[in-house]
Amino acid sequence: MRTTLNLKDDIIIEVTRLTGAKNKSQAVNEVLEAYVREKRMQKLLDLKGKLHLEDSWKKLREMELDES
């Protein structure tokens, strides 16, 4: 999707350098994907101690394997 963004030059240069991306679009995509992964992981970690999967973990694993 084509989008116009106003980004700080120094940030986009550093992001491009740190990601090793070949262009700005690739750099921004990599950073956004990493951000989404991090937020999803944090949501899972926030559930620590709130879920009790003692008996149902085997059923969940079977469902996961069925989706593959």
- Would you say residue 29 lies in a domain? yes
Number of domains into which the chain is organized: 1
The reply to whether 1 falls in a domain is: no
Does 30 map to a domain? yes
Is 4 inside any structural domain?
Answer: no
Tens-digit pLDDT profile for residues 18-43: 999 999 999 999 999 999 999 999 99
Q: Are 24 and 12 in contact (CB under 8 A)?
A: yes
Helix axes 24-46, 9-19, angle to 10 degrees: 80
- Residue 55's domain comprises 9-67
Q: Is residue 41 part of a domain?
A: yes
pLDDT band at 65 (very low <50, low <70, confident <90, very high): confident
Which residues are CB-neighbours of 50 under 8 A, at least 6 positions away?
A: none
Q: 15 lies in a domain?
A: yes
The answer to whether position 20 is within a domain reads yes
Mean pLDDT on 60-68:
80
